Structure formats: structure tokens, C-alpha cells
A = this chain, B = another copy of it.
Amino acid sequence: MKNRKILLTEQEIPEKWYNIVHDMPNKPLPPLHPGTREPIGPEALAPLFPMELIKQEVTTEKWVDIPEEVRDVYKLWRPTPMYRAFGLEALLDTPAKIYYKYEGVSPSGSHKPNTAVAQAYYNKQEGVKRITTETGAGQWGSALSFACQHFGIECEVYMVKISYQQKPYRKVLMNTWGATVHASPTDLTEAGRKILAQDPDSPGSLGIAISEAVERAATDENTKYALGSVLNHVLMHQTVIGLEAVKQMEKAGEMPDIVVAPFGGGSNFAGISFPFLRLNLEEGRNIRCIAAEPASCPKLTRGVFRYDFGDTVGMTPLLPMYTLGHTFVPAPIHAGGLRYHGAGVVVSQLLKDKLIEARAHDQVECFEAGVLFARAEGILPAPETNHAIATAIQEARKCREEGVSRTILIHLCGHGHFDLAAYENYLSGNLEKHEITSEEIAAAIARIDTPAIR
């Protein structure tokens, strides 16, 4: 009987992260100062991040060493398994070969600890006592809490108030790992107090939470800030996923024709796909890497390539990205991790250069795909993950229609054990599609007041 899993040993955990910037035909454009709109250098980031992470943010070196201490923590769950999806193939009656790389085995149940551990480590090295961050539904906040706990750093999480109230469980997970969690807006920061003065009942937003976390770090010399996606160093840390996956596909004796991953800010898509894109760039292979995004937040498929702010308020540097505009408010879909107006700079440039593809799925299609996957393979995927499964199912059905066998690799970036309320919503027939009109998108984009990129 055939093996379902392709496993690696702890010795096979990658020793270096892969930095795709080195191999990009067009390098990313520089960030601009939010006021002067002039290019800014790495020193502008010094109040927020430790020096080593700033270096990683701007380096064009192809490989960056993973410290032994970080690899040692990775061993708590890495290497993660790759599966051949025999059950899903049978259910779809497709000639496609489907594989999935499963990151849900991490302590917090998603891929997020890959960068959280690295970031906590470098902060610890530079004597940082406290890290602040923001979190929506809590995937990132819980990963950073785990990582900070491990290295003995205080972790302070600004959690969007409406999530704090509606989804108390992720908060409990963060507390269990010793983090302090605040319902944002708080009265602990200038930014929070300003919002509360205008609206004492504000439900909060990711943009406000970012402002609070950044302010805390900027105004306390022992405190730094950490981000869970978008930035170059964050995306690079996630490449351990794809580097393992390349080895696992080699062990399986084949290479994927298609790699699919959900897309929020870019970290989980980059994590699995960049090491395969390297093979395209280096060896002229033609592995299609598809980013699967929500139809209700379609920055890659319907947004513009433009300098825009990373936050809602407009405090961060301007970044060249595919965006729906920093004032765009995504519909309240269950895939909270994908509700972000913009895409990471590196991924945006790759899309601009047609080196990757993007596809959008509505929420109902995604849950349909997730339930089908759970029934075929046992694992219940996170709502974010369901987007990649929806793309994979489309491609597998296409293989059947065309009578062609292709090899599809899905990034199964997290389990859905914290998201059962969302599944209940779907199973009871109450899930909304949240479609978005061209007029709504045009209006959001029209509110961007930065110059277009030539």
C-alpha cells in the first residue's frame, strides 16, 4: 500500500532562508517617506525593528543563514509533512496528482510561527524587552505570543476590539503563552485615545491596532514592533516551507506543475512559492504559482499597482503594491487573515512582471471546497486555506475535462479548529458571498492620493 506522507528529518530543516529579491529581473521599487514622498533608507525603520531584521529587509543576498537557535525551535513542529491527497483525487475523479504541504502542525496551528520565532530571536539578541503587535482574528498574535514566550520576551498584542469580543478563544491562547492582550482602541496610546474621544464605542480596526502597536514601540526604547506579513524579511522567513516542499517533491520523484496558496499580505504565498519560482528563474522551469484571494478583497485580480500606505491611517512608508486603497474596508468574511487592502512589495512586483498568477474565489465556494477537503482527507482547513483548495479543485477538474494529468501542490497553511463558528455558518446555509461591484472598487481606488507608478 502506498505512502500518504513524504517526511523529512530534523536534519533536513533548511539552514538558510531564500531571498528571491536576488533573482528578480526587476527589483522592488523603494519605499517612500509618507510626508516628503522621497525614497527612504533602512535607518527609518530603526525605531521599530532590531538591526538584523532591517538588514534582512533590504538585503539582496540570495541566501540568509537561519540561526541554530531558530532551527532548534522549528524542531518543535518542523519539518512539516507533505501529503499525497489520494482521498481528494478519488473524490474529484481527476487524473491530476494532488499534494499538500501541511503547516497546521505548528503550536498555534498555522505557518505564522516560522517568522514569529525568527523575529523574537533577533529581538532577544539585541536586548529588546518587549514586542508589540496588532492582530485581527488572532493567528499572528498567537504565533508571536508563543515565540516571545520561548525567548523570554514580553509580548503585547493590540487585538481589534470586535474580534476580541466575538472571538475570545484566540485571546485565551495568547494569554496561555503569557502575552498581554488589549482590546484596541485602548486608552494606553495617543492614537487609541484620539479614536475613543471621537467614538467611545469604536469596534476598532486593524489599521487602528497597527497605529497603537507602532506608537508603543516608537515611544519606548526597550520595545520593538513586529509584523506578520507584507515585509520582505517576513516573506523570506516563510521560505522554509517551500524549501522543504521542494525536497519533498524531489523525494516523491516529481515537480509540481502548479503551486497554489491563499493570499493575504503575501507571507504564506511567498513561503511555499518562492523556492519553486527560484527553479523557474534559475533553471527556466515553468511552475505556475497561483495566489488565491477572496473575491471580496481582490487586490491582486482587480486592484491597481500603486504606491500606497500599509495602514489605514497613513502613518507607514508608502509601498509600491497592488492595492485596493488603504481606506478600503474588506467585507467581514471569515477568512480574517486575508482581509487586507494591499499586497507585499515583492509579490506585487512579481505579479506585475507576470511571474506569478492570481485568482479570486467567493466565500461560499471556499467553504464548499474546505468541507469537501475535510471529508476526503480528514483535516479541517482554516477559512484562509480554503481559498487555495478552491483553486486546486478548479485545476483538478480542468485536468479531468482535458484528460491531462498535472501535479498540483496546495499550501495547507493552517487548520480550522479555531474557526468552527464559520463552518457552522456555512453548513447552516447562512454564509454570504460578499460580492463586490466594479463601482465599489473604482471608488476605493479613486481615494488613493499618491501618484501612479509609470
**Distance in Å: Cβ of A139 to nearest Cβ of chain B:** 13
Q: A371 to chain B: which residues have CB within 8 Å?
A: 176
Residue A380 CB within 8 A of the other chain: yes
Known A-B contacts A177-B374, A420-B169, A424-B172; A3 and B10 likewise in contact (beta carbons under 8 Å) = yes
Q: A106 to chain B: which residues have CB within 8 Å?
A: 378
Residue A150 CB within 8 A of the other chain: yes
A107 touches B379 (CB 8 A): yes
For chain A, give the interface size range: 35 or more
A375 touches B178 (CB 8 A): yes
Q: A325 to chain B: which residues have CB within 8 Å?
A: none
Q: A72 to chain B: which residues have CB within 8 Å?
A: 1, 4
Which one of A1, A176, A418 has the highest number of Cβ atoms from chain B below 10 Å of its Cβ? Answer: A176
A420 touches B173 (CB 8 A): yes
Residue A427 CB within 8 A of the other chain: yes
Known A-B contacts A427-B175, A427-B176; A5 and B107 likewise in contact (beta carbons under 8 Å) = no
CA distance A7 to B4 in the complex (A): 15
Partner of A4, one of B75, B107, B177: B75
Residue A303 CB within 8 A of the other chain: no
- Chain A 399-435 against B: per-residue CB contact (8 Å), 1 yes, 0 no? 0000000000000000101101101100100000000
A105 touches B107 (CB 8 A): no
Q: Which parts of A66-100 form the interface with B (CB within 8 Å)?
A: 68, 71-72, 75-77, 83, 87
CA distance A76 to B418 in the complex (A): 21
Q: A374 to chain B: which residues have CB within 8 Å?
A: 107, 176-177
19 example contacts (A-B, Cβ-Cβ < 8 A) are as follows A1-B71, A1-B72, A3-B9, A3-B10, A3-B75, A4-B75, A5-B10, A76-B83, A109-B417, A149-B375, A168-B420, A169-B424, A172-B420, A172-B423, A172-B424, A173-B420, A176-B427, A177-B375, A417-B417
